[in-house]
Structure 1
């Protein structure tokens, strides 16, 4: 199989997703031009979900040393999971809305700066820490609690589903002001009453826990809007700490709603979250955490 000579990249496949935040036709044309200008030959472009995610065997059969992924964090998660154990490397570019994994690997750098560094041999292969649970693994971040119900509202907004938006908003507000709060049970951190939303962010030192809350109806609505915009970090929150593993539980025994790199899932009323390295090499051009 071909390799990246000193991490200097000149051949790759490209994975895109038209539903991702930055994947406009103009942006894709600009990306193709930028890759070509830096001597990177894109031998195949895969348009997910119209085409299947690439497999390790397909990449190896074509002697491709690198997969460039220009999508949001959810598609990134699925693609990296599909390639677990592959000997090549993945170059993550900021192609979504929040681009949290790209920021872990490259800081706030844009496509052209990242591509210039990688094509010049200045990237490093890394395996950043993931946050893991029975429902999956998160490279960018994992959200737990009734506040994750706003994820379904966001999906309805994408599909212009007006009844779904209205119903989802009512349900999300009801859950955020109800009794199904989430709390850190072991170790016992923060409020015993729980929070509408706890964020788990994997990093070099462990899993960072941030608990978001609201004190009145207006703040609950504002927090929901912030979640829709993926800017929930602007809301009031407590830093609970950094842990190697943590058990979270629902305060009223109901199932835990979660978002794994933005994708919804469910867990039982009590679940353990731990950390582990990514099972695939990613190319980094800045601080990984």
Structure 2
């Protein structure tokens, strides 16, 4: 499955990958465009007798595919087709589509279950960002669509929201700053959820935080590293809905969101241990 409208879509690369997967016969590999054809369901793949489903896309596309296919008896092969490719960097030593497919075809992969950060209606394979800082994702979306006018407007709103918007309080267990954070990043680790609280005291800090989110490199922004936990509740200080950015895509949460470390209910194809 590919996204032909993506700015990072490369027709020549997809043709090469089809040939590799088809062992020289590209026509033997069916390609689905998620925008034009839609995401196949578990039932679609089961009826077609599909065992392995290959998705070439960014973190948002891979999250959507896994979300739709949880509980399926087959396995998904993730190929990097985005900007940050956080999931693929997590799964593979070499984040190169040709190398991944070659190793897969050589029988060097096996099904595995990875950890994720699961909320009430979303899960993050790589990260969840909760709080006003998540609105920087809207800026990145506009830039991705080359809509610079809207991007400038969204950036101004994101700065204002980060500075004056309702902060995120961490509860059950209580941790971090008592007055909360403009953004809380949650990422899965084998033994717990890593928590990073994003604070800023000046306009320059907020701009730095926003640029870090735009580049998908949160470590560039000012933050607190907190102790890993098995579960955590993010609460809006004024009970308003919490902006969320999940694997790079924007969602709107409830005023309180409980996140837990969980195992994804879908096999991913990973290098042999």
TM-score under structure 2 length normalisation: 0.91
Q: Which runs of 5+ in 1 are unaligned?
A: 1-14
Distance in 2 between residues matched to 1:118 and 1:86, nearest whole Å: 20
**Structure 2 unmatched ranges of 5 or more:** none
Structure 2 vs 1, CA of residues 254 and 62 (structure 1 numbering), >3 Å: closer, same or farther?
A: closer
Which of 199, 215, 231 aligns to 1:245? It is: 231
Task: Tell me which residue corresponds to 2:199.
Answer: 213
Q: Deviations over 1:42-90 (max 9, x none)?
A: 5210011111111223223332211011011111111112222211110
Counterpart contact for 1:179–1:251, Cα < 8 Å: no
Deviation at 1:128, TM superposition (A): 0.8
Which structure shows the bigger proportion of residues in strand conformation?
Answer: 1
State the match for 1:52 in structure 2. Answer: 38
**Cα contact 2:183–2:197 (8 A) shared by 1:** yes
Contact 1:21–1:72 (Cα < 8 Å) also in 2: no
Distance, in Å, in 1 between the alignment partners of 2:94 and 2:106 is 19
Is 1:134 matched up with 2:120? yes
Q: d(CA) in 2 for partners of 1:42 and 1:89?
A: 19
For 2:29, the equivalent position in structure 1 comes to 43
Query: Structure 1 residues 229 and 187, CA, compared in 2 at 3 Å: closer, same or farther?
Result: same
Query: Does structure 1 retain, via aligned residues, the 8 Å contact 2:132–2:165?
Result: no
2:271 is matched with which residue? Answer: 285
Aligned residues: 273
Q: Establish whether residue 225 from structure 1 lines up as the match of residue 211 from structure 2.
A: yes
Alignment partner of 2:33: what SS? strand
**Alpha-carbon distance between aligned partners in 2 of 1:138 and 1:281, rounded to the nearest angstrom:** 16
Structure-2 separation of matches of 1:203 and 1:42: 38
Normalised by the length of structure 1, the TM-score is 0.86
* Deviation of 1:268 (Å): 2.4
